[in-house]
Chains A and B, each alone.
Chain A
Amino acid sequence: MTDDSFAGERNTGALTADQPGAGGLRAGRRGHMSFVRAHLREYGLLIALVAIMLFFQIATDGILLRPINLTNLILQNSYIVIMALGMLLVIVAGHIDLSVGSVLGFIGALAAVMIVNYDINYWLTAAICIAVGGMIGAAQGFWVAYFRIPSFIVTLAGLLVFKGLTLWLLAGQSVGPFPPGFQLLSSGFVPDLLGGTDLNLLALVLGLALAFLVIVLSVRSRRNAGDDTDEPYALFAAKIGLAALAIVYLSYLMATFRGFPNVLIVMALLISVYMFVTNRTTLGRRIYALGGNEKAAKLSGINTERLTFLTFVNMGMLAALAGLVFAARLNTATPKAGAGFELDVIAAVFIGGASMAGGVGTVVGVVIGAFIMGVMNNGMSILGIGIDYQQVIKGLVLLAAVIFDVLNKQKAA
């Protein structure tokens, strides 16, 4: 494997040298700034997140990045990120799912009724809940994929149906609290197996390992990209270096508090799995092709119906997982849980650079998009900005991000 990619690399050099016009050489001459300008989208998103974090860090007198707040921020955002991963696939496939907030609430209610009212084992409950989430996704995806009913309408119906079912299931009451074991899903922390005292050593070691992994994987994928990338090496190195530093720093901050929350591990695992699926598997490639041009994908032998169906099943399962996380965090299931979450999730995906038309969007973009929303929520709350203004500001940021995208694309064309 390693030998193979190495040969590929040498090959790259030879071919590029043969062709004076090839991308790599030209980029070298054009310089770094013009490259950044050409790829404003990718850098812009990261720069925006950093800028927003810096702004709130200063505006809140350093509260934003206090270990306890940082942990809080991750917990608050976890269910949005989890759902945004599923939403990304749905949107890339050219659809939308408006029902995820209601499904989240419904699954939370189901879990509460099963665990609290019927005293069913919470592991079993979690498994059943995720299966039910998958079935909900299947029920909606079935109409979208095989009968071509517009997903907007099917899932709008789903939004209403599951909102109603949540109310019915809870009989309009809040149900709780959950047993401590279940709460750990959201409020638990990974115990320090390395026996640190003031500092959670495990979190620090995991952070370092993750940073190292990011560097290794990035270098490898850059090598494989060949003339796909004309990113100057210095920029590439700076980008990866900064990302690694940020990971280590944030891990350190959390290590000084209670270490990594359980949810962070769940989230990190999901993010890596979905990055892998979207970038490196035929399944992911097919979803992008389906969203980019369904007819061409179909005529290339891709089973577009089944693929569409599966993106909805996947979305339902992730919404269910998010429902469990959210219920565990609140330690109660309420009839209003999840109301409006679909909007935050969809906004995160679009801020992250996905296209309404389908075929475009990345996991990294979506995660950054979700954290841009999350940091703004958190920062504005600390500053005591009212929910009224918060909504206005979030709406404008979404609009600005998409306008920026569209203008950027028009300029390129």
Chain B
Amino acid sequence: MTGKLLEMRGITKTFPGVRALDDVSLSVAEGEIHALVGENGAGKSTLMKVLSGVYPHGSYEGQILVDGAEQRFRGIRDSEAAGIAIIHQELALVPTLSIAENLFLGHERARGGVIDRTRTREEATRLLARVGLRENPGTRVGSLGLGKQQLVEIAKALAKKVRLLILDEPTSSLNERDSEALLDLLEDLKRKGVASILISHKLNEIARVADRITVLRDGASVSTIEAGGAPVSEDRIIRDMVGRALTDRYPPRTPRIGKVLMEVRDWTVAHPTDPDRLAVDGVSFDVRAGEVLGIAGLMGAGRTELAMSLFGRAWGKKTSGTVRIEGREADTSTVRRAVEAGLAYVTEDRKQYGLVLDETIRRNVPLANLAGISSGGVLDEARELSVAREYRDKLRIKCSSVAQEAVNLSGGNQQKVVLSKWLFADPKVLILDEPTRGIDVGAKYEIYAIIAELAAQGRAVVVISSEMPELLGITDRIHVMNEGRFVAEMPVADASQERIMAAILRSGQSASARVRTPAPAA
């Protein structure tokens, strides 16, 4: 057994009126991957802020030891000096600067304030090689995909001679392939002596790479599970997280599928900045009343592009194809017309596209249907209030009152506000894009229940998700999308993660063969 790199003992942190952490202990051995799991609000982020010095010594009780010596971090610089680096969910990169400039931001390789370009370039190249990123160090970070940006973040941490890397939900916005690459990198770093703490909601990833798993619940450490190569039971982790056995991760549902509500034919959308590329290529599908249709695919497959272009051409250029709703051709040329035609789109990025964060729940809910709370352009405040309360109660939004600002709600409750907004617009067809992203297990169940309820009301629901178990759990039928095209369709009874992946890989073979593997000798 190698020595203990980090030990946190009896950490207690209180905010006015709330005990966020209660006597939490956590230890990380040298070269260990330690997973930290828990529902949103369980105290994971607070614990990591204590560890990284965001909450300075003195603002909490308990001890932090690195290599057995007590540390009193006054700020992030102190923790970085001790070899601890944190990579937040929202990446801290400057998109307008190059990779190399980002890598050494604040620690520029310079002599007397003048940047040493040669050294910067050499070290950057070395660091990029370490994280397996084949990019020119002079490339602008903004032009990289999210997966590559994440690698730049890790390289940036390595530049600071990090010994313990903290990653806060690193794969939440990555596709399967990039996630795999990231996990491989963590294992590689581990072999080279860099330990990591991995915060994640994705249990399969944790089961794959973690040596030990600490479960936090309500600000206390509930258990530390030794994984040590043996497979860990996901059910055990979930049970510890929520404090009860989750026998059903998906609500039961008896689908009552009716007539076709929406028919999409030959939907084709060009990429807005590269008009020769088709982001969506001749997609046709139907969705019926009472049906939950899943769209599976990797990130970048064109699913969001499909949804947003259907929804009032909110994305893309040169859109063509037809949409029929209830048998009649629907005009979806602007968002407003799409809404009037009975379409709703719940975005994958609720903070940027779904909510006016600084506004109250009450004002967010009616935003897509202001006509519903007004007459002749004049708002009826009493009606607005009763609508907001109705949805608060129906969707069980946890809040102090409907006057609470959306920014102060948890992810799950924010998502419920976005859903309320669209439910109040009373759509016939709802497209939900990654409806449970960044939401904890308990709230996910509630979102699934809402989806089931919507279908039961006779609406058609289209769910786009990168979590295949979720699609298998809640949909009736799955379309698989890859590289802008629908490549397979299967009723959920015949679907499995393997079949979906196989459909993606088989369809992509011809295209990716050109890019990745050298052509076999003719």
* Given A286-B370, A299-B311, A299-B335, A280:B358 Cβ within 8 A: no
* Given A4-B382, A8-B382, A282-B370, A292:B400 Cβ within 8 A: no
Is A60 at the interface (CB under 8 A from chain B)?
no
Q: What residue in chain A is nearest B340 (Cβ atoms)?
A: A301
Cα A282 to Cα B500 in complex, Å, equals: 45
Whether the pair A228, B352 counts as a contact (CB closer than 8 A) is no
Whether the pair B312, A301 counts as a contact (CB closer than 8 A) is yes
Residues of B364-403 at the interface with A, using a CB-CB cut-off of 8 Å, are 367-368, 370-371, 374, 377-383, 385-386, 389, 400-403
Cα A359 to Cα B360 in complex, Å, equals: 12
Whether the pair A280, B379 counts as a contact (CB closer than 8 A) is yes
Is B363 at the interface (CB under 8 A from chain A)?
yes
Residues of A354-406 at the interface with B, using a CB-CB cut-off of 8 Å, are 359-360
Whether the pair A298, B402 counts as a contact (CB closer than 8 A) is no
Is A5 at the interface (CB under 8 A from chain B)?
yes
Q: How many residues of B contact A (CB 8 A)?
A: 41
How far does the Cβ of A19 sit from chain B's closest Cβ, in whole Å? 8
What A residues does B314 contact at CB under 8 A? Answer: 298-299
What B residues does A279 contact at CB under 8 A? Answer: 379
Cα A298 to Cα B338 in complex, Å, equals: 12
How far does the Cβ of A356 sit from chain B's closest Cβ, in whole Å? 13
Residues of A247-301 at the interface with B, using a CB-CB cut-off of 8 Å, are 279-283, 285-286, 288-289, 292-293, 295-301
What B residues does A281 contact at CB under 8 A? Answer: 374, 377-379
Query: Pick the contact of A298 from B335, B363, B381, B386 — CB < 8 Å?
Result: B335
Q: What residue in chain A is nearest B354 (Cβ atoms)?
A: A296
How far does the Cβ of B279 sit from chain A's closest Cβ, in whole Å? 18
Whether the pair A299, B353 counts as a contact (CB closer than 8 A) is yes
Whether the pair A360, B358 counts as a contact (CB closer than 8 A) is yes
What B residues does A359 contact at CB under 8 A? Answer: 356, 358-359
Whether the pair B381, A280 counts as a contact (CB closer than 8 A) is yes
* Given A224-B385, A280-B381, A285:B363 Cβ within 8 A: yes
What A residues does B367 contact at CB under 8 A? Answer: 285, 289, 296-297, 300, 302
* Given A5-B382, A280-B381, A289-B367, A21:B356 Cβ within 8 A: no
Is B345 at the interface (CB under 8 A from chain A)?
yes
Q: How many A-B residue pairs have CB under 8 A?
A: 112
Whether the pair A227, B402 counts as a contact (CB closer than 8 A) is yes
Whether the pair B312, A296 counts as a contact (CB closer than 8 A) is no
Is B452 at the interface (CB under 8 A from chain A)?
no
Whether the pair A293, B356 counts as a contact (CB closer than 8 A) is yes
Is A303 at the interface (CB under 8 A from chain B)?
yes
Cα A303 to Cα B336 in complex, Å, equals: 8
Is B20 at the interface (CB under 8 A from chain A)?
no
Whether the pair B311, A228 counts as a contact (CB closer than 8 A) is no
Cα A229 to Cα B360 in complex, Å, equals: 12
Is A15 at the interface (CB under 8 A from chain B)?
yes
Whether the pair A228, B403 counts as a contact (CB closer than 8 A) is yes
Query: Pick the contact of B336 from A4, A282, A301 — CB < 8 Å?
Result: A301
What B residues does A226 contact at CB under 8 A? Answer: 382, 385
Q: What residue in chain A is nearest B374 (Cβ atoms)?
A: A282
Cα A300 to Cα B355 in complex, Å, equals: 9
Q: What residue in chain B is nearest A9 (Cβ atoms)?
A: B382
Whether the pair A300, B335 counts as a contact (CB closer than 8 A) is yes
Is B347 at the interface (CB under 8 A from chain A)?
yes
Cα A394 to Cα B312 in complex, Å, equals: 48
Q: Mark A3-21, 1 if CB is under 8 A from B, else 0.
A: 0110010011001000001
How far does the Cβ of A275 sit from chain B's closest Cβ, in whole Å? 13
What B residues does A26 contact at CB under 8 A? Answer: 400
Whether the pair A292, B357 counts as a contact (CB closer than 8 A) is yes
What A residues does B335 contact at CB under 8 A? Answer: 298-302
What A residues does B336 contact at CB under 8 A? Answer: 301-303
What A residues does B371 contact at CB under 8 A? Answer: 282
* Given A21-B400, A227-B402, A221:B377 Cβ within 8 A: no
Q: Mark B329-356, 1 if CB is under 8 A from A, else 0.
A: 0000011101100000101000011111
What B residues does A297 contact at CB under 8 A? Answer: 356, 367
Q: What residue in chain B is nearest A227 (Cβ atoms)?
A: B401
Whether the pair A23, B401 counts as a contact (CB closer than 8 A) is yes
Q: Mark A298-334, 1 if CB is under 8 A from B, else 0.
A: 1111110000000000000000000000000000000
Cα A22 to Cα B398 in complex, Å, equals: 11
Q: What residue in chain A is nearest B311 (Cβ atoms)?
A: A299
A-B contact pairs, 12 of them (CB 8 A): A11-B386, A23-B403, A281-B378, A282-B374, A282-B379, A295-B353, A296-B352, A296-B353, A296-B356, A296-B367, A299-B311, A302-B336
Listed in ascending order, the chain B residues whose CB lies under 8 Å from chain A are 311-312, 314, 334-336, 338-339, 345, 347, 352-360, 362-363, 367-368, 370-371, 374, 377-383, 385-386, 389, 400-403, 421
Q: A8-B385, A281-B374 are in contact. List 16 more A-B contacts (CB 8 A).
A: A11-B386, A225-B381, A225-B403, A226-B382, A228-B360, A282-B371, A282-B374, A282-B379, A288-B363, A292-B356, A293-B352, A299-B353, A300-B335, A301-B312, A301-B335, A303-B334
Listed in ascending order, the chain A residues whose CB lies under 8 Å from chain B are 4-5, 8, 11-12, 15, 21-24, 26, 221, 224-229, 279-283, 285-286, 288-289, 292-293, 295-303, 359-360
